[in-house]
Amino acid sequence: MTMQEQLYPLARRAFWGYFFVLLNINFTFNHVFALQFLPNTVGWWLLARVCREGKALRPSLGLLRSFCLVLAVWNVQQFFPTLEGQIPGLISLLVGLVTLYTHFQFLTDLAALADEALPGGEHGHKLRSARTVMVVITTLLYCYDLLFRLPALAVVMLVVGLCAYIYLLVQLWGLSKSLSPAE
């Protein structure tokens, strides 16, 4: 089995994983229950599967599996919006940092695998760019003062973040297409 064949199902699953993690469509019922059409939990579970299966190709992916599973469980609270206000800030910070690191390392590893599997390294480079923008934007969202004083900046950051998400999804889709046996 070639590297390309091994990587194809991982890349496809990573795309769907991020599709569920980054996009959010829900109906909220009386602020108590939110019916999620693209639950993050499913996304993290898919990424955890990628980590388990990709461990053989890249050992550092294996280290992320526990994080992905924890985040999958954590994101169940998405269904219960009232819980959000009850969670101590400390736990939210911890989860936020784990999420930040997981995104970074997962995309770094995926980009490295893409470099190995596909000549030219174009996909890897684009994945790393999307990764960097995502991580920086997420970090800047901790600058509360900036956000409170310059709401316009917050809007710009959210727009840039959204563009980065879409760009990332396009790249992941492109990667899985490039790895597809039909290509």
Shortest distance in whole angstroms from residue 16 CB to other proteins: 24
Nearer to other proteins, 12 or 58 (CB): 58
Segment contacting other proteins (CB under 8 A): 1-9, 18-26, 126-134, 152-160?
126-134
Please identify, using beta-carbon distances, which residue of 53 and 115 lies nearer to other proteins.
115
Cβ atoms of residues 79 and 36 within 8 Å = yes
126 binds other proteins (CB under 8 A): no
Residue 87: DSSP 8-state: S
The alpha-carbon radius of gyration of the chain (Å, integer) is 17
User: Residue 9 or residue 121: which is nearer to other proteins going by CB?
Assistant: 121
Strands (E), the chain: 26-29, 33-36
Q: Concatenated DSSP letters for 126-154?
A: HHHHHHHHHHHHHHHTT-HHHHHH-HHHH
Per the CB < 8 A criterion, the answer to whether 169 and 138 are in contact is no
Residue 95 as a binder of other proteins (CB under 8 A): the answer is no
Smallest gap from residue 181 Cβ to other proteins (A):
29
- Give the interface with other proteins as residue ranges (CB under 8 A): 63, 88-90, 92-94, 96-98, 100-101, 104-105, 108, 112, 128, 131-132, 135-136, 138-139, 142-145, 148
